[in-house]
């Protein structure tokens, strides 16, 4: 049983998620990589419990996180049972369905059949009675949006989730989904898009949509999977995501040109008295729509570093222009 730090709520900032009653920590921890069956349980435990000690109350999962798929939820379930069960009401735990999880026509996308069955499997793996947030993980071009949103509404009404969200939906579909969910009486709480200094798609209409609709935003891959840190400045470390066979970040994407760009950003971060990871986190949090920066980690020290970003969230116009220029 982990005894959490009594100071855990003193350093973290909590931000309101859209126009809802729910507050999220400015930094949240995602379990996509480094919490699977191929990873070390003790390191996963140290990161989850250590994050909670820092006031990180929000843990982001999905049915398919691992590898193997499902194993990150099993890892979280073990740590929850051993260490955090007494603190269930202090935690916001999310899961998702939409990517391939089991064979046959019901194992992915956005049918009611897939979403409800997948969440039941996730709850079992995590040993939970409900999740706080359940997401549709990716838009489904073939299932009527009414069916997918109806399934999310059912999931809340049946007690399997408290809130629902969507991930990677374009602005138009986000507006449609929000209107349907509002009509059903289960408002869309949150949108989870990819966003970083090197991936700007949300700036072309999505952030504006989320502001209008009162939906929170929790950007992911804010460090571009580790590229936007000092990690690759001198080559590809053996224990890095880019070096691992199951990592989603491919070795060949760490090009000389990108490393040169990262070097310039790193010098800017140093001038601000921050690490580059901290600057990248502060940069996504600068929008009023950004509820929380969703980070991944392979060690507790990376999570501690991320939380240090909150000491300096301000950018002047010159810095923002320079970041645009360097990353253009």
Ligand X SMILES: NC(=O)c1ccc[n+]([C@@H]2O[C@H](COP(=O)([O-])OP(=O)(O)OC[C@H]3O[C@@H](n4cnc5c(N)ncnc54)[C@H](OP(=O)(O)O)[C@@H]3O)[C@@H](O)[C@H]2O)c1
Residues near ligand X (CB under 6 A) are: 30-34, 60, 137, 167-168, 192, 220-226, 229, 231, 240-241, 277, 294-298, 302, 305-306
Q: Beta strands 131-136 and 161-167: pairing type?
A: parallel
Q: Report the residue number, 111 or 192, with the smaller CB distance to ligand X.
A: 192
**Is-contact 194 219, C-beta < 8 A?**
yes
Residue among 187, 196, 141, 142 nearest 165 (CA): 187
- Say if CB 92 and CB 60 are below 8 A apart: no
* Least distance between ligand X and beta carbon 34 (Å): 6
Tell me the C-alpha distance between 171 and 178, whole Å: 10
3-class DSSP state of 306: helix
How many CB atoms are located within 10 Å of the residue 142 CB?
Answer: 7
β-bridge mates for residue 167, sequence order: 192
Residue number with CB closer to ligand X (160 or 231): 231
Smallest gap, in angstroms, from Cβ of residue 62 to ligand X? 7
Which CB sits closer to ligand X, 157 or 286? 286
Q: Please say which residue, 149 or 224, places its beta carbon nearer to ligand X.
A: 224
CA distance 230 to 266: 7
Coil, strand or helix at 47: helix
Minimum gap (Å) between residue 3 Cβ and ligand X? 26
Q: In DSSP terms, which residues pair with 199 in a beta bridge?
A: 196
Q: Which is nearer to ligand X, 158 or 178 (CB)?
A: 178
In angstroms, give the least distance from the CB of 286 to ligand X.
17
Q: How far is the CB of 316 from ligand X (least distance, A)?
A: 24
């Amino acid at each position: 049983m982990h005894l959490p730090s009594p100071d855990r709520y003193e350093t973290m900032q909590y931000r309101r998620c859209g126009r809802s009653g729910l507050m999220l920590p400015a930094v949240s921890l995602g379990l996509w990589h480094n919490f699977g069956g191929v990873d070390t349980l003790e390191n996963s435990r140290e990161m989850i419990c250590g994050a909670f000690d820092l006031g990180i109350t929000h843990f982001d999962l999905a049915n398919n996180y691992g590898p193997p798929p499902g194993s990150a939820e099993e890892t979280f379930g073990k740590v929850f049972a051993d260490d955090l069960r007494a603190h269930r009401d202090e935690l916001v735990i999310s899961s998702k369905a939409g990517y391939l999880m089991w064979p046959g026509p019901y194992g992915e996308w956005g049918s009611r059949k897939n979403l409800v069955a997948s969440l039941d499997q996730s709850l079992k793996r995590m040993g939970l009675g409900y999740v706080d947030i359940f997401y549709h993980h990716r838009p489904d071009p073939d299932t009527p949006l009414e069916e997918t949103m109806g399934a999310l509404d059912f999931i809340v009404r049946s007690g399997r989730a408290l809130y629902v969200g969507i991930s990677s939906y374009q602005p138009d579909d986000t507006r449609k989904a929000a209107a349907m969910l509002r009509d059903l009486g289960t408002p869309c709480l949150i949108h989870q898009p990819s966003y970083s200094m090197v991936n700007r798609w949300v700036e072309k209409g999505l952030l504006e949509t989320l502001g209008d609709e009162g939906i929170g935003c929790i950007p992911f891959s804010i460090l571009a999977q580790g590229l936007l840190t000092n990690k690759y400045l001198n080559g590809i470390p053996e224990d890095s995501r880019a070096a691992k066979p199951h990592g989603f970040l491919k070795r060949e994407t760490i090009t000389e040109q990108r490393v040169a760009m990262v070097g310039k950003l790193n010098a800017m971060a140093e001038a601000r008295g921050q690490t580059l990871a901290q600057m990248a986190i502060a940069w996504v949090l600068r929008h009023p729509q950004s509820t929380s920066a969703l980070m991944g980690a392979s060690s507790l020290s990376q999570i501690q570093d991320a939380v240090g970003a909150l000491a300096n969230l301000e950018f002047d116009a010159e810095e923002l222009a320079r970041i645009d220029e360097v990353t253009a």
